[in-house]
Amino acid sequence: MNLVAECRLRNDPAESRQIEAWIQSFAETAHLTPAARSAFDHSLVEWITNVISYAFVEPGEHWIIVRFLTAPGQARIEVEDDGREFNPLNLPPVDTSTPLERRSIGGLGIHMVRQMMDSVEYRRTNGRNILTMTRRVE
C-alpha cells in the first residue's frame, strides 16, 4: 500500500468539515469512481462522527489520525484514535427486515459501512483503535 496522505483532526465535531476536502483530494489521487468516492465519504463521516461522539471518556483534546492509502485495484482508509476500546465488528448484524419501531437504537452506521466497503477490519494496538476500510477500485 502507498500512503497518499495522513491527516489529523481533534475530537471536535467542527473538525469533521475537513473530511469532504480530504476525500476529494484522495479521490483524485486514487482515481476513484464517483461511487467509490461517495462510499468512502459516507463511511468516513459516519466513523469519525462515532469516534468524536463516543470514544473519549476523559475530557480534553484528543487527536484522530486518518490515513489514505492506495494499491493497484484498491483504496483504503485507516482511522486511528486513542479512545476507549471498541470493536464495531463485534456488533451483531442489523436485521433490516425488522420494522424501525422494533429495532434497538444503534448499529446502523457500522452496517452501512460494512455494506459500502469490501472489507472492514479492526485492531487495538498500543492503546489505540485502528479501523481499516477497504474498497476495490477499477
Give every strand in the sheet of 74-81, ordered side by side: 2-10, 63-71, 74-81, 128-136, 119-125
Structure pTM? 0.90
Residue-wise pLDDT tens digits, 12-39 = 998 888 998 999 999 998 999 999 999 9
Answer CATH for 2-136 from 3.40.462.10, 3.60.21.10, 1.10.540.10, 3.30.565.10: 3.30.565.10
Residue-wise pLDDT tens digits, 72-85 = 999 999 999 999 99
The per-residue DSSP string of 11-41 comes to S-GGGGGGHHHHHHHHHHHHT--HHHHHHHH
Distance, in Å, from the CA atom of 87 to the CA atom of 42, rounded to the nearest integer, reads 19
Distance, in Å, from the CA atom of 134 to the CA atom of 76, rounded to the nearest integer, reads 4
Nearest C-alpha neighbor of 65 from the set 106, 103, 15: 15
Confidence of residue 98 (pLDDT cuts 50, 70, 90): low
Distance, in Å, from the CA atom of 33 to the CA atom of 1, rounded to the nearest integer, reads 19
